Amino acid sequence: MPRTQSDASEDSVIVRFLYTIVLLILSPILIFGLYRRRPGKPSIGSRWREHFGLTPPLDGVEAPIWIHSVSVGEVMATKLLLPALHARYPDKKIVITTTTTTGAAQVEALDLAYVVHRYMPFDFPWAIKGFLRAVKPSLFLSFETEIWPNTLCAVQKAGVPALLINARLSEKSLRNYRKLSWLMRPALQCFDKIVAIHQDDAMRFVALGCDERCVEVSGSIKYDLQLSLNVEEQGQALRRFFGKTRPVWIVASTHEGEEETVLASFQQIKQALPDALMVWVPRHPERFNVVAELSSDAGFTVQRRTEHVKHAHIRESAELENQLDSAVDIYLGDTMGEMLLMLASADIVFMGGSLLGKKVGGHNFIEPALLGKVSVTGPSFYNFADLSQQLFTVDGLRVAGTADKIAESIVLQLADKEDLVSRGALARETVKQNQGAIERLNSVIYSLLKTQQER
C-alpha cells in the first residue's frame, strides 16, 4: 500500500521524539558550554530561565516580528535589515532572540525603541510553546543555518509564517544534512520560504528535499552594509594616532588555535618592517586576556584599547591626543562593536577563522572590502566561497596558509601602498555590485504576510 500523509506525519512525530530524547541527554554538555564563565563574556544572570521557555511576556505588544540571530555575527547582519522592516511595518515591534550572551549584548547595544531582546529557548517542545505563548509572533525569520526541528514544527502548528533568510548551505553541510535527512527534511519543509544567498545555496536546499517553489535567491544581507561617514573619519583619526607612515595590518576575528601562527608571522614581519603595528581583534571576547598574555609572552609590547579609550567609542569630534608610543607592537581591540573602526584604521587585513582546516570556514570579507581594504585569508574560507572568487578576480583577496606565507604576503603588499589602495577600490566596487538583498527580501516578506492576511 502507498504511504499516506498521515503515515508521514506519524513518522515525523516519532523522529522528533527521538531527537528530543537525544537532545535531553546531550543538554548538560551544551548548557555547560553556554553558561561557563569566561573573562570578557557577559553573564546571563537570572535570565537563564528564558532558555527553558519561561519568557517574560511582551506587555502591550501585539503580533511582533520575530528574528532569531544566534550570536554576534548574525546580530550584526540582522541590524542591517531592521530599518527596512521598521519602515514597512512601523506599528510592529521586532523581537530578536539570541542564544548567547554576547549576542544579547549586541542587541541591547542597538538601543532601538522598536526592538526587544529575548533569549531563544532550547529546542524542547515545552520550551518553544512557552515562548510562543508569551510572544505571539506574526512572522518568524530564522537566520542563515538556524534550523531547529521542534521550533519549526511548533511555529507551523501555531500558524506563524516562517522564513529562513540569508540562507546558506555549503557542500560540506549538504553532505552532513543528508546523513540526517530523516530529521532535517521535515524541518526544512516547515519553512514557507527559504531565501538563499546564492543560486548554489538554493540548489543545495532543493537537493536536500525542499520544494523548489519555496526557494528563492536574494543575495546576502551582509552586502547591504552602508558605512557611515563617521566610521571612515574615526578610522582616519585612529590611524593618525597610530602614525600616518607606520605600516599597519589588522588581524581580525581569530580563533583559539590560530594565535600562535599569527604571532609567528608578526615576528617575521617585524624583521622586515621594524616599525610595523599589528591591530588585533579576536573573534570572541573571552580570548582578549589570553591574546594579550600570549602577545606579551612572545616579547611584544601590547596596548589594550580599553586602557587607551575609556569610552566605548571615539566621539564624532574626538581627535585622539598625542600618538601611540612607537614601542607598542600590538594594539589589542578588546571592545565590542568597533570592528569597522579598527578595519578602517589599517592598511591591509588578515581574516581569521581560516587557519583551522574545516572547523570554521573563514569569516566575512565584505566589511574590509567596503572600506577599500585588501584582505589575506588562510586556506579555509568555504563559508564565503562566492565572494572570495569575485575578490580573487580583482586581486582584492590573497591566500596564505602558514606563518611564513602570511608574513611574506603582508610585507610584499605593504611595500606598495598605492597598489593596495587601487586594489581596495576594486574590492569595494565588487561588493557594491552585489547589493540589493534587503529590498528583495522585504518583497518576499510583504508578499507572504499579504497572502496570510487574505486567507
User: Quick check: 301 and 330 in contact, CB under 8 A?
Assistant: yes
Quickly count: other Cβ atoms within 10 Å of residue 40's Cβ: 17
Helix axes 403-414, 417-432, angle to 10 degrees: 100
Which residue has 583577496 as its cell numbers?
397
Burial (Cβ within 10 Å: 0-12, 13-18, ≥19) of residue 154: buried
CA distance 452 to 375: 44
For 122, the grid coordinates are: 532550547
Active-site annotation holds for 319: no
Neighbours of 112 (CB within 10 A): 14
Q: Given the residues 10, 50, 62, 74, select the one marked as catalytic.
A: 74
What amino acid is encoded at 25 in this protein?
Answer: I
Q: In what order do the strands lie in the sheet with 348-351?
A: 302-304, 330-332, 277-282, 248-254, 348-351, 375-377, 397-399
Which residues does 103 contact at the CB level (< 8 Å), separation at least 6?
69, 70, 71, 72, 74, 75
Instruction: Determine the Cα–Cα distance for residues 73 and 64; give it in Å rounded to an integer.
Output: 23
> Do 427 and 349 meet the contact criterion of CB atoms below 8 Å apart?
no
In order of 11, 23, 146, 180, 208, the CA distances from 186 in angstroms are 10, 17, 14, 11, 10
CA atoms within 13 A on the CB side of 307: 9
Q: Are 138 and 67 in contact (CB under 8 A)?
A: no
Q: Which three cell numbers stand for residue 327?
A: 614601542
- List the one residue out of 218, 223, 193 whose CA is nearest residue 205: 193
Q: Which residues are part of the catalytic machinery?
A: 74
